[in-house]
Structure 1
Amino acid sequence: MSLGEFDLIAKYFVRPAGQGPRRAVVGNGDDCAVLAPAAGMQLAVSTDALVEGRHFLSTVDPARLGHKALAVNLSDLAACGARPLGFTLALTLPRVDEAWLAGFARGLLDLADEHDCELVGGDTTAGPLAIGVTVLGEVPVGGVLLRSGARPGDELWVSGHPGEARLALEAFRGTLHPSLPAEAFDATRLAMECPQPRVALGLGLRGLATAAIDVSDGLLGDLGHILRRSGVSADVFADALPLSRWLAARPRHEQLDCILAGGDDYELVFTAPPERHAEVLALGAQLGLVLSRIGSVGHRDGSAPRLRLWEGAAPLANRWVSFDHFRQPSPSTPAPNPGEAP
């Protein structure tokens, strides 16, 4: 006999006493969770939904999917400089598959434990596979990082090596020529399916960065949100974009496509005053994380924010757009045999 709804929750998503973080005053099992932020703190809240075929492939390892479901929300907290407190999970399942549930719960709760973020409630229902997570964090009053704080003269930075997730996706789609070697495919697939939220970086950027956003829909598109909200322009230097080992081996057009418009990276793009340059580099060294200065912020030129691309001293036509769920086909369209390495 398959598990019922409440048995499923109790078996896979209710932690035994003494296991996992305990931040909530009232946690999983009541009609509402109750959390109490520390004195001088404000709540930061973010929600994301993941839908099979749109955000992830049907062949993804369930533990990696559980990890990613929470990671994309923790990434939003990181962009705001918020420390995770707890989260809720809304899980829609086509059927009860206990092997799948065990893997999914393990990936989800392992990442939750890593960031001291407690599962405090949610819902389960039957239907096409979809995952909704709402995460709650805390940030000091007046200390939140926003998209609207960039100032002319600021330096423009990005963390890590964006573009690997898109490279893996194109490998799944079968569009890469030459194809990826097996080692490169495994590494970039891990980046796509198991992103690392930059929570520690976000906390370190409080009081240092002037604006921040996480890269979910493409570096240029997400940077555009900062420019519009801050009322500024920017120059991005393509030759300063960080290249991972795997992207460095690809043709230049693939490098730019993946880094500038790839999305699904969950790295942070942020701005900081030039006099804080050394502090930004020191923070990256402390965290063991590559932080790259990729451009600068300027005044608004005309009625709309302007974003100029440069390759060396020459202007580069901006042909890249960020992903839009209602204007583009799914980014997760699999190749004919998505379970096989290209």
Structure 2
Amino acid sequence: MVNVGILGATGMVGQRFIELLTDHPDFEITSLTASQRSAGKKYEDAATWYLDSGMPDSVKDIEVVDTDPSQVGDVDIVFSALPTETAAIVEPKFAKKYIVASNASAMRMEDDVPLVIPEVNPEYLDLVDIQKKNRGWDGFIVTNPNCSTIALTITLKPIYDQFDIKRVYVSTMQAVSGAGYNGVPSMAIVDNLVPFIGGEEEKMETETLHLLGELEEGNVTPASFGVSASCHRVSVVDGHTEAVFIEMEDQCDLDDIHKAMADFRGLPQKLNLNSAPEKPIIIRSEDNRPQPRMDRNADGGMGVTVGRLRKDVAFENSFRYVLVGHNTIRGAAGASILNAELINEIM
């Protein structure tokens, strides 16, 4: 078993890490960190549990420690659920010694830090050796993308591999859990939609192209098609919905697009990693699917569900579809865990 720690364990994403790592066949939680006001308390006393699953008994008596490398004890991997501002300072300190699988955005676009979706670009892990040499670290940082980016990019990958994409437009309807438990006041979101999420559109537009780029001699050349995103917060607890419009360079058959997504498998599926969904992309044929309440937990929340795949009759060589992905599982904690499983398997 690999001993692991969770940085920022009392927050919503930290709790998802705990939920998903409890009874994991390869990883055992031995350290939980939080702010100084929680340090020294048992986890059940330090955390207000937000998830429906209930706090696992195995973590209740773990003593929470300060988020400092000297405090986490005998661990090999730490999962970071830290806020961006904190992560920028703290994660490099941990990476001097430990493997850091981060959900935070602070280090995502650093030249020598792998930004990885294991089904999409596992080869970016080759940057680890460059990172360790550049920074003099014994450990390293691997990041996963923004929650909305992950779902979108997984669905684009099989299309991009087989066809030439000219332009992508995406409009998101994002769940409130993406902002954290206290992130969106109820009076702001009930009976409402908020048409702006700070920084979200820029992340989708840059991270997607980075993930689908080419790694050559330690440098990533982003994909060259256009991405335009409009991001919105809606009154849904979990599960991001995205309406995607793709303009192709050349004529493509709808059945070929459907087959490319339905048949898509990546390295995690070939390696049978514990958190890997059997099908990264699940295609529904019903007119009224996917829906977040019905489809966010597909394959344990790690599958991305696609529906309403159809030609866009208004534009030549264009297609459109709707997707749903679980933002705190596939889009956050589950993504970091799958990265760690891949690292544990191949490195």
Higher relative contact order (CA 8 A, sep 6+): 1
Settle same-fold status: TM greater than 0.5. Answer: no
How does the TM-score come out when normalised to structure 1? 0.25
How does the TM-score come out when normalised to structure 2? 0.25
Structure 1 or 2, whichever has the larger Rg, is 1
